Amino acid sequence: MELMKDPEVLNPDECRGVCIFAEQRRGALSSAAMEMAGAGRRLADALGEDLHAALLGHGVGDLAEELRHYGIDKIHVVDDPVLADFLDEPYSAALCRVVRDVKPSILLGAATNIGRSLLPNVAVRLGAGLTAGCTGLAIDDATRSLVATRPAFGGTIFADVVMENRRPQIATVRRRVMAPAERRDAPSGEIVRHDLPPCAASARAKFLESVDELAGAVDLTAADVIVSGGRGIGGPEAFEMIRELADALGGGVGASRAAVDAGWIAYSHQVGQTGKQVRPKVYVACGISGAIQHLVGMRASDTIIAINRDPEAPIFRVATYGLVGDVHKIVPALAKRFREGG
Ligand code: FAD
């Protein structure tokens, strides 16, 4: 690929500050943007440098104003019809434009579908390193480098990754791991407008339409409560009782890979290593054994309730509360109690 042969490498000596990608979709800021603002502010303060945000889209003036309430020093806006919907090429060209103008030493984006596609593209264009799916970020006092922590080998170890030579140091960060920036009443920070680079308009891909897989479905990565079903619930129809309990608790429905592979529920519900990484306040695992690949996706939940008829099931080792018994009896009984406000 031409871009990989000739990346536009920044001079590390000229790079200062932290820049976040402030994600928006359909004219609304993602809560991921606030999480990045919180994480970015802490890193910028540790370095004693500025926090920048890159906001890309079309007609996003109001969102830029809103971002001024989150303690960001400079909000860099690229506003163009070409950026109305996310496409890799124009978005990465626009973000590279901001990065080349700002020359941040660190670039952060949330590990959302958009972030996981955009940030690696930018890293290639800039010949910079990227640490994906981070769960911790810190500054090394001695070198002032970013120390990006991420799980490896299915979450059995945590690796600290340092990108010594190239700038910016790029990281995608898992959802709901970083404390979000608090909204302040008084706006602050300067809005800086940048032009879309001409090459961005000639994107090879075109946006046709966006189809929501599950209209009205809860975004699991942002849900406070998740009720998940595994192979132990017995079949697709049993997801009805899982959904009833989730509804009674105001939460979303998750699933193990075994349930997804069996075709009982769509992949978008899968929690785990090859599904979604979630961190709700309450995670209810119903008929799920607790394989390591499932645990890496949910064990950061604040409270875990496991329902399993096997008292030796590994899920009980991570559970805050364990209920040993048949899901078909326990789940409907819990849903009834919660619906009745019990
Ligand atoms: P099982 O392991 O079959 O467990 C079913 C459980 O239900 C058992 O503990 C049983 O005691 C209990 N049970 C049965 N009947 C009842 C009942 N009536 N009442 C109460 N309890 C009952 N898995 C994921 O979930 N997410 C991933 O992202 C993922 N990624 C993977 C990636 C790789 C590379 C690999 C190799 C595997 C991955 N897996 C993933 C699969 C994982 O290893 C397990 O196979 C899977 O999580 C098992 O799903 P389960 O717990 O629903 O099924």
Residues 188-204 pLDDT 10s? 999 999 999 887 776 68
Q: How far is the CA of 157 from the centre of ligand 1 (A)?
A: 21
Is any atom of ligand 1 closer than 6 Å to the C-beta of 256?
Answer: yes
Q: What percent of the chain has pLDDT over 90?
A: 80
Q: What is the DSSP letter of 276?
A: B
Ligand 1, residues 220, 274, 326: which to mutate, most atoms within 8 A of Cβ? 274
Is any atom of ligand 1 closer than 6 Å to the C-beta of 294?
Answer: yes
Residue 177 has pLDDT above 90, yes or no: no
SS3 243: helix
Say which residues have a Cβ less than 8 Å from residue 168's Cβ, sequence separation at least 6: 10, 15, 19, 99, 103, 104, 105, 106, 107, 126, 128
User: Ligand 1, closest atom to CA 272?
Assistant: 28
Is any atom of ligand 1 closer than 6 Å to the C-beta of 287?
Answer: yes
At 298, give phi and psi (nearest 5°).
-140, -5
Residue 48 has, within 13 A of its CA and on its CB side, a CA count of 2
Q: How far is the CA of 9 from the centre of ligand 1 (A)?
A: 45
Across the range 34-50, mean pLDDT stands at 98
8 A C-beta contact, residue 127 and residue 166? yes
Integer CA distances (angstroms), 5 to 98, 125, 311, in order? 22, 9, 56
Ligand 1, residues 256, 326, 330: which to mutate, most atoms within 8 A of Cβ? 256
* pTM summary value: 0.72
Tell me the pLDDT tens digit for each residue of 244-282.
999 999 999 999 999 999 999 998 899 998 888 899 999
pLDDT at 6: 52
Q: Residue 43: name the closest of 73, 23, 17, 63 by CA.
A: 17
At 138, give phi and psi (nearest 5°).
-150, 165
Q: How far is the CA of 104 from the centre of ligand 1 (A)?
A: 43
Across the range 13-23, mean pLDDT stands at 97
Ligand 1, residues 296, 309, 312, 316: which to mutate, most atoms within 8 A of Cβ? 309
Across the range 227-254, mean pLDDT stands at 97
Angle at 128 between CA 33 and CA 35, to 5 degrees: 15
Is any atom of ligand 1 closer than 6 Å to the C-beta of 259?
Answer: yes
Dihedral through CA 197, CA 27, CA 44, CA 76, nearest 10?
Answer: 30
Q: What is the DSSP letter of 85?
A: S
Is any atom of ligand 1 closer than 6 Å to the C-beta of 273?
Answer: yes
Across the range 223-234, mean pLDDT stands at 97
Is any atom of ligand 1 closer than 6 Å to the C-beta of 324?
Answer: no
8 A C-beta contact, residue 310 and residue 285? no
Q: How far is the CA of 289 from the centre of ligand 1 (A)?
A: 5
pLDDT at 1: 42
Is any atom of ligand 1 closer than 6 Å to the C-beta of 108?
Answer: no
Q: What is the largest CA-CA distance in the chain?
A: 64
Q: How far is the CA of 292 from the centre of ligand 1 (A)?
A: 9
Residue 216 has pLDDT above 60, yes or no: no
Report d(CA 210, CA 221) in Å as an integer. Answer: 20
Residue 7 has pLDDT above 80, yes or no: no
- The structure tokens listed for 277 are 């990484």
SS3 255: strand
Is any atom of ligand 1 closer than 6 Å to the C-beta of 308?
Answer: yes
Residue 297 has pLDDT above 70, yes or no: yes
Tell me the pLDDT tens digit for each residue of 308-319.
999 999 999 999
Q: Residue 107: name the closest of 32, 172, 42 by CA.
A: 172
User: Where does the chain have alpha helices with state H?
Assistant: 2-5, 31-47, 61-67, 88-102, 113-126, 239-248, 257-261, 292-298, 315-318, 327-339
Residues 157-161: contacts with CB under 8 Å, at least 24 apart: 161/131
Tell me the pLDDT tens digit for each residue of 317-330.
999 999 999 999 99
